[in-house]
Amino acid sequence: MKFSSSRYLFPLVLLVVFAVLYFPTIGTGFLTDDFLDCSHTLREVPAAFSSQYGGGYRPLMILSWALDNSIWSVENQSGWHFTNLILLLVSSLLLYILLGRFLRKPAAIYSGTALFMFSFPMAVAVARVSWRTTILALIPLLASLILISIWSKDSKRKWIPFVAALLYLISLLVKETALAALPVMALVAYCSAADESKRRKTIWTIVIGCVPLIIYGVLRFRAMGFGVNYAESTFFGSFMVKNLMLQNSIVWRPWLSGASARLLFLLYPVAVYFGVPKWKNRILLFSMGIFLMLPVSNLTLRPDLSVAALPGAALFLGFLVERFHGRKFLYPVLSVLFAGIILFSRDEIRTLGTASDYVDRTTERLAEIADELPGNGPLFVDGVNNAVGVYGTFWPGEYMVPMECLGIQPGRFVTGTDRIWEALIREGDSGFLVFMSDDAIHYTSAPVSIDMYPELPDTTLLLSGSIPAGNLIRYPSCRGSDESGSLYLVSPIYPDSVIAIVPERRDGFSFYDLAAVPLWLVSDEAAVIMAGSTTELVFSSRNASRERALEIMELKEEQRAI
């Protein structure tokens, strides 16, 4: 490749945009999955190679979390994001080298690299600590493809394909995203090799590439058996084609936002046919768009998963730029294309920053509330937003780890409202229910205790329309006929909301577990209960939630004993 003076301009522009776009992510804290991944330690790594650990078989990913935890600690979340930036730069450099194996024009190579660096999938994968998984798995895969291309084209060093196979195995041990990448490896060899050695080098690549697949399969089987992380991954259907189209289109947001899978199904082949020279290159691009995305094509669309589609998209853009190089419209079109992509990525990074700010602000407020309320019994929190925009904030009900990550020790257990009775039994006989306002600043609290429901005689009521709860709030459950529908509760705590209480069907009657409804536990006599139709209810002192909590705790003890 011969470079003009623009060889200095292109990388300078990339670095400037990189700094402006990604340096703000240094200040982004942990979100949802991050709070689980940040807790891994180096002691856990050996177990990750021999068992199902951390939700699947990804031992080198566990090693990555453990190293960050060892270097930065959970309280220095900026360090974890700095690691993400290093991974982005390394993967971008490898992608640049790979593109240089197929493209001749510097503008084409840098355009493809820019798409890889600044697209929406990469932006959110870098901005979220736990979404680095696809980037980290992509690094050894890209290095493997580069070595295959070098060996196939002009090298007689026999060790190169074996190193490429080792890198492929490393990619699989990070995350199984590249499980179907063998056809891509074979086509890279075919497209790179001279005519007289195409067949031999391609077949040899396939043979060598099967070795890491077999090794990975054996290791995974020994660790997990035939289990998979997501049951959907084992089901094949026509919707996979739709997901493949949509997952690849995420790379081009906002320009293809809203495009249907049918339109994309027609658009992609036409674009590749007219934009990419030679059939071997077209087939390579199709294989990258299909086989690198195939392992996730059954999962719910998620932008970070589309990072695996970026090498193919970058190569396509490179071929397109090379095809129209010298045309006057090329650089204005590229400017508009990248302006939209970069601005869209910037907005998504800002949204993630807003979600992070909400987590920090709410966590600190919960710690203040824990200090304000008397005693040291557990707090059960309701009303925390679990998503800002489309990005998760907390795992529902999990507030202790976020506090730990901010260096806060609240002195009491703070959790959600789905484990009230289990926590009351385990942590103490009393605590507080806390209902947060929308601004996560103001709150309402009320005490709850393990013995808050005394034994009372059953009370039968014919409910029609709505009535004040009155003394009924002293009962933890009620039952109706098999035809009884949902009950509805309006509490002074949330006067503008109607809470539906859905019955369980039990042996010919409807059972309402009122003690499982946080607002019922703290309602006063002014609360209103409603029914959609006239129904006879028998209110009882049976506390089914407490019974269920005791059963769960006994089961956990039995499992620990085993």
- d(C-alpha 97, C-alpha 356), whole Å: 35
Least confident range from 105-109, 157-161, 236-240: namely 236-240
| pLDDT, tens digit (0-9, with 9 covering 90-100), for 183-211 | 999 999 999 998 888 999 999 999 999 99
- The pLDDT of residue 5 is 54
Is a pLDDT exceeding 70 seen at residue 100?
Answer: yes
| pLDDT, tens digit (0-9, with 9 covering 90-100), for 494-542 | 888 899 999 998 888 999 999 999 999 998 888 999 998 889 999 999 9
Cα→Cα distances 159→150, 197, 254, 561, Å: 12, 17, 43, 50
Question: Which is nearest to 415 in space by CA: 432, 430, 398?
Answer: 398
Q: What is the 3-state secondary structure (H, E, C) of 280-325?
A: HHHHHHHHHHHHCCHHHCCCCCCHHHHHHHHHHHHHHHHHHHHHCC
- The pLDDT of residue 307 is 96
- Residue 109 tokens, joined: 């190579």
Residue 72 CB partners (closer than 8 Å, separation 6+): 78, 79, 80, 83
Residue 28 pLDDT grade (very low, low, confident, very high; cuts 50, 70, 90): very high
CB 90 within 8 A of CB 137: no
Is a pLDDT exceeding 70 seen at residue 29?
Answer: yes
Residue 418 pLDDT grade (very low, low, confident, very high; cuts 50, 70, 90): confident
- Residue 236 tokens, joined: 């094949």
CB 127 within 8 A of CB 352: yes
Strand ranges, E, within 428-492: 430-436, 443-449, 459-463, 466-468, 477-481, 487-490
- The pLDDT of residue 228 is 63
CB 118 within 8 A of CB 342: yes
- Helix (H, G, I), strand (E, B), or coil: what is residue 438? coil
- Helix (H, G, I), strand (E, B), or coil: what is residue 236? coil
CB 351 within 8 A of CB 263: no
pTM of the model: 0.89
* Amino acid found at 46: P
Q: What is the DSSP string of 33-61?
A: HHHHHTT--GGGHHHHHHS-BTTBS-HHH
- Helix (H, G, I), strand (E, B), or coil: what is residue 530? strand
Q: What's the average model confidence in pLDDT over 328-354? A: 95
Question: Could you identify the residue written with the tokens 């990248």?
Answer: 338
Question: Could you identify the residue written with the tokens 């003076």?
Answer: 5
Question: Which is nearest to 25 in space by CA: 73, 87, 101, 70?
Answer: 87
Is a pLDDT exceeding 90 seen at residue 7?
Answer: no
Determine what percent of the chain is predicted with pLDDT higher than 70.
96
| pLDDT, tens digit (0-9, with 9 covering 90-100), for 387-405 | 998 899 998 889 999 999 9
| pLDDT, tens digit (0-9, with 9 covering 90-100), for 37-81 | 888 999 999 999 988 876 678 999 999 999 999 999 999 999 999
Length of the chain: 562
Burial of 229 from C-beta contacts in 10 A (0-12 / 13-18 / 19+): middle
